[in-house]
Amino acid sequence: MSNVALSRTAILDQFHSYGCTRDRFLIGGEYERAIVRPHGTPVHYAEPFGIRWFLTQFAKRWGWTPKLEGDNIIALYKDGASITLEPGGQFELSGAPHKDLQSLVEEFSLNRKCVNQLAKEAGFRVITSGLTPIASIESIDWMPKGRYVIMREYLPEQGDLAHYMMKGTTSVQCNYDFVDEADCAHKVALCAGVAPLTTALFANSPLYLNRPTNYQSFRGHIWTRTDPDRTGFPPGLREDFSFERWVDYLLNVPMMFIHKGDQWIHAKGRSFYEFMTTGIEGHFPTWDDWELHMTSTFPEVRIKRTIEVRGADCISHEMAIGFCALFTGLLYDDTALSKGVELAQELGHYGTRDERFDIACKNGLSGMFKNGVPSSSILSLTRRLVNIGAEGLARYQPHNRHLLIPLEEQLERGCSPAMDLLNAWQSNPTPEHVIDFLSY
């Protein structure tokens, strides 16, 4: 699209061009993890064997191509995948697109082996938790990326826990294709509608400063206090989804920054629509600016070239793969998609979307949704969701059906991973034990 003038109409045309045939559907996983000391305190960027060393070693040992910002290595690229840093040094693998889940498993497993090898050499630990469980947010360094300088100033004006989101949280995400606008709308309705259930199933952030937060997914709660303009379930991400509504939301959401040359320029909350019509400091947007802008919104489901499902705390390797497998079964099998949309519509009877999400964050799988008549347990509803996904996966990729077993075992125990962590903490609340329990 780079040779087409940027306009609302051209952006809509671009979204309509993103659809693909079912035989070309792919799956891409994203996995953020934290690197900490054995007692849970943070590892800094520039220290010996710090975050920069991890990136450098991936480049030297395994052939990843580094990306620099100034003199600092901030990302790596290889074979359609990338490794990037969140603001507090969270180490994120954004995997290549895969036709088969087994290829995703191999990619996740190789990355796990490599990062754990480096952590062992450095005397550090890699952990899987939705929120840093021991370290204070203030003790975590900012990564040397220009966009984060602006974000760390802008976002706290919108939400009091913005720095917690930026420096302390980690998650699992996955990306999926769609055929056309109608197919995208059905998939968005499912993903956004069942978000409270997946938030509960993958809740894994009950500790901060080595004390209970009173939330099973404190990460999920943190996102509700980060920036209401760009998080949660904004207009355009509901049952009435269309490309037009989604594009209009993106055009009107306040911008944080623009990037020109080596400079990051504060957009001061002006909209992308204003950027297109009047410019910012003499600059007018290109298609690259539009692509950058789309990455600066953080709703529970994000639509770009693919549908990005974002509603899970960082959990164990096996559970993270299960997250990707669950939505593969739900979104890539027509019967499962229809049943999943019906379940999402049923959830609409239990209070407001925000109320359902809050209950899931607080209580995980032990929560109850109420609607003035008989209440319904999150556990029973989530079992239904996973059953639908399992049936879909058994039809779509039957050889990968076993990838959902860790989710089914979690449901059989009747509790979120957060409760497993809390039980481990209650048996031995030392920081070293907590880190051991969460080790990747």
Q: What pLDDT is stored for residue 1 in this prediction?
A: 57
Nearest C-alpha neighbor of 369 from the set 197, 252, 218, 203? 197
pLDDT band at residue 370, thresholds of 50, 70 and 90? confident
Residues found in the chain: 440
Q: What's the whole-number mean pLDDT along residues 167-173?
A: 98
pLDDT band at residue 219, thresholds of 50, 70 and 90? very high
- pLDDT above 90 coverage of the chain, percent: 93
pLDDT band at residue 373, thresholds of 50, 70 and 90? low
341-362 pLDDT, tens digit each: 999 999 999 999 999 999 999 9
Task: Give yes or no for a contact between 192 and 344, defined as CB atoms under 8 angstroms apart.
Answer: yes
Task: Give yes or no for a contact between 265 and 283, defined as CB atoms under 8 angstroms apart.
Answer: yes
pLDDT band at residue 374, thresholds of 50, 70 and 90? low
Q: What's the whole-number mean pLDDT along residues 361-368?
A: 97
Residue partners of 86: CB distance under 8 A and separation at least 6: 32, 92, 143, 166, 167, 170
Beta strands at 65-69 and 27-36: parallel, antiparallel or unpaired: unpaired
174-186 pLDDT, tens digit each: 999 999 999 999 9
285-300 pLDDT, tens digit each: 999 999 999 999 999 9
Task: Give yes or no for a contact between 41 and 134, defined as CB atoms under 8 angstroms apart.
Answer: yes
Task: Give yes or no for a contact between 434 and 207, defined as CB atoms under 8 angstroms apart.
Answer: yes
Average pLDDT, the chain: 96
Element (DSSP H or E) covering residue 82: strand 81-85
Q: What's the whole-number mean pLDDT along residues 288-316?
A: 96
* CA 64/CA 79 separation, integer angstroms: 9
Q: What is the dihedral of CA 121, 433, 199, 251, to 10 degrees?
A: -50
CA count, 13 A, side-chain hemisphere, 274: 13
Q: What pLDDT is stored for residue 240 in this prediction?
A: 83
pLDDT band at residue 236, thresholds of 50, 70 and 90? confident
Six token digits for residue 287:
């298609």
pLDDT band at residue 19, thresholds of 50, 70 and 90? very high
* CA 149/CA 107 separation, integer angstroms: 32
Question: Three-state DSSP class for 120?
Answer: helix
Six token digits for residue 133:
């469980």
The pTM of this model reads 0.97
From 7-21, 93-107, 371-385, the region with the lowest mean pLDDT: 371-385
Q: What's the whole-number mean pLDDT along residues 326-335?
A: 98
| pLDDT beyond 60 at 147 | yes
Q: The tokens 């891409």 sit on which residue?
A: 28
* CA 144/CA 438 separation, integer angstroms: 27
Q: What's the whole-number mean pLDDT along residues 6-20?
A: 96
| pLDDT beyond 80 at 144 | yes
Question: Three-state DSSP class for 438?
Answer: helix
Q: What pLDDT is stored for residue 237 in this prediction?
A: 75
Q: What pLDDT is stored for residue 372 in this prediction?
A: 54
